[in-house]
Chains A and B, each alone.
Chain A
Amino acid sequence: MQPEEQSKGQRPPQSAKPNNAKLVGKLVVVVFGMFGFGFALVPLYDVFCDITGINGKTNDTAATYTNVEIDQSREVVVEFITRTNKQIPWEFEPVIKRMVVHPGEMYQADFVLRNSESRDVIAQAVPSVSPGQAALYLNKTECFCFEQQPLVAGQRVVMPMRFYVDPDLPKDIEVFTLNYTLYDVTGTTTGSTQMGQK
């Protein structure tokens, strides 16, 4: 490795040479480890968000409703916003725009979706809650956003979403907003769209 060492006999006994390989080996392991860590940040981020509600994502699999105490004394306003991404002219509206709920009680909100195009489409609704922290306390037992929605041309559907608000919702949150953005995912296969997910 080092010409100098061989040419000059008077160098002191160098333990450097074997050590170099060992140290380089360790450092390379760190490098690959950190490269892996970069990718591990993707699921870690999701876990972190689930714990902290940092990005306002709601649960993407059904929650179960058992033995939740209903807090009749408290009222929380839940607002629903619906959007189609890039203003695709599908009709997508909540049946009720605003609900006053008691934490712990089960509610159902319906959403109407009509494919106004003359082709079959597949839609995916992506939920987002603001303030993000409230997402931790919004439990959905049933949601159209858990799956992709195939719609033939002109089809109109009413999609239900059943939820309850955890009674532990911080007291300072009097109102929170649940937004659904509807994406046109026609043509993108299910496999690849799930890649970025945990």
Chain B
Amino acid sequence: MVFALPVWAADQQQREPYQLNLRQGVTDISHQVYDLHMIILTICAVIGVVVFGVMLYSILFHRKSQGAKPANFHESVKIEVAWTVVPFLILMFMAVPAARTLIAMEDASAADVSVVVTGSQWKWHYKYRDHDIEFYSLLATPREQINNKLKKGENYLLEVDRPLVIPTDRKVRFLITSDDVIHSWWVPDFAVKKDANPGFINEAWTRVNKPGIYRGQCAELCGKDHGFMPVVVIAKEPAEYAKWVEEQELVRRKAKEEEQRLLAMNMDMDELMTVGEKVYMKACAVCHMPNGEGLPGAFPALKGSSIALNNKAKHIDIVVNGVSGTAMASFAKQLSLKEIAAVITYERNAWGNNTGETVQAKDVNAVVNGI
């Protein structure tokens, strides 16, 4: 804590002025929401000034110490009816624009781009409906920054390894769901916040007016690392977006070819361990902890575990298929065959789990494809 202070002080230099109010955002809806916010805030402020003003007047001028004699009135039907009816009318006046915005938000017309957004502990997965593009989006802030060992970057906790990319000036629909607990996908600049409910699908849409990078966070408590699963969306001009889609599809094809090539090869222990450690820190360490000891009572230890030491087949099965009824997800679609092979090798040889065994991509492939 002490040595974090100078780092924190340095952070302060580059910060923008205080954000006090709601963001206006970059969509028509978010502007409407902002306007509603300002209207209701103003109404509250005016009522507040009147009520507190009357109260202050009493406090100042109806004091016993100044010889004020109490009046004896204690009811007045007229006044009481008035201050029931007037607030009621103000509220109904307020309900009209609110309902209008709500109806605009629930627009179920066809969209130009659809993305399936899936939350899981503690990352987002994006899958484009009309293209062969899908990927996970994980927090990119290094652990050392969180633990105050490195200076925190500008977008601390609001940066991901692979942001979602969408076109501007197009209606983009998000189909939101979850793999485990309830999450909530939120981008303040779009005024979009929708819960991701396991087994159910929710939808939201946006039409972004301005290209840019927009950042948000998971908004529903989803367990230990709830604070560490940001949402980053890049809005690009439609032409640039199309180019990006093409690139991604190409990259994906290449990766698949590479995967096939790897099946025929054996990697050596050193390479597996190096890759494995990297994958472990990214995908496994949040629950099983960087030292492999897990969190007793919540997440099992891998260090010294009998599966990691003695049962290679089971080990591969768990990583590939997950364990149903627990927090352990399947990694077959999250990691490449090479990465899975490497991380299992790492888990079987790190922290004194010195089995000396390697696991190769083809071993994993056998399990993934049920050969």
Where the two chains meet, the residues of A that have a C-beta atom closer than 8 Å to any C-beta of B are: 55-56, 77, 79, 81, 83-89, 97, 115-118, 126, 128-131, 134, 153-154, 172-177, 179, 181, 183-188
Q: In the docked arrangement, what's the CA distance between A126 and B178, Å?
A: 13
Q: Is the interface of B mostly helix, strand, loop or mixed?
A: loop
Pair B116/A128 contact, Cβ less than 8 Å: no
Chain B residues with Cβ under 8 A from A131's Cβ? 106, 108, 203
Closest to A76 in B: B110
Pair A153/B370 contact, Cβ less than 8 Å: yes
Say which residue of A79, A115, A154 sits within 8 Å of B114 (CB atoms).
A79
| Ranked 10 nearest A-B pairs via Cβ | A89-B332, A179-B201, A116-B370, A86-B329, A130-B203, A184-B324, A128-B200, A128-B201, A87-B333, A87-B330
The verdict on A87 contacting B322 (CB below 8 Å), with A128-B199, A130-B201, A174-B109 known, is yes
Chain A residues with Cβ under 8 A from B189's Cβ? none
- Size of chain B's interface in residues, with CB distance under 8 A? 37
Chain A residues with Cβ under 8 A from B109's Cβ? 172, 174-175
The verdict on A175 contacting B333 (CB below 8 Å), with A89-B368, A115-B370, A129-B201 known, is no
Where the two chains meet, the residues of B that have a C-beta atom closer than 8 Å to any C-beta of A are: 106-111, 114, 116, 118, 120, 125, 129, 175, 177, 179-180, 198-203, 320-322, 324-325, 329-334, 367-370
Report how many A-B pairs have Cβ atoms within 8 Å: 100
Chain B residues with Cβ under 8 A from A129's Cβ? 201
The verdict on A175 contacting B110 (CB below 8 Å), with A115-B370, A116-B369, A117-B321 known, is yes
The verdict on A175 contacting B108 (CB below 8 Å), with A83-B118, A85-B179, A87-B330 known, is yes
Q: How far is the CB of B297 from chain A (nearest CB, A)?
A: 21
Q: In the docked arrangement, what's the CA distance between A87 and B125, Å?
A: 10
Say which residue of B110, B120, B198 sits within 8 Å of A77 (CB atoms).
B110
Q: In the docked arrangement, what's the CA distance between A174 and B109, Å?
A: 5
Pair A89/B108 contact, Cβ less than 8 Å: no
Pair A181/B177 contact, Cβ less than 8 Å: yes
Q: How far is the CB of B121 from chain A (nearest CB, A)?
A: 10
Which of B106, B129, B203 has the largest number of chain A CB atoms within 10 A?
B203
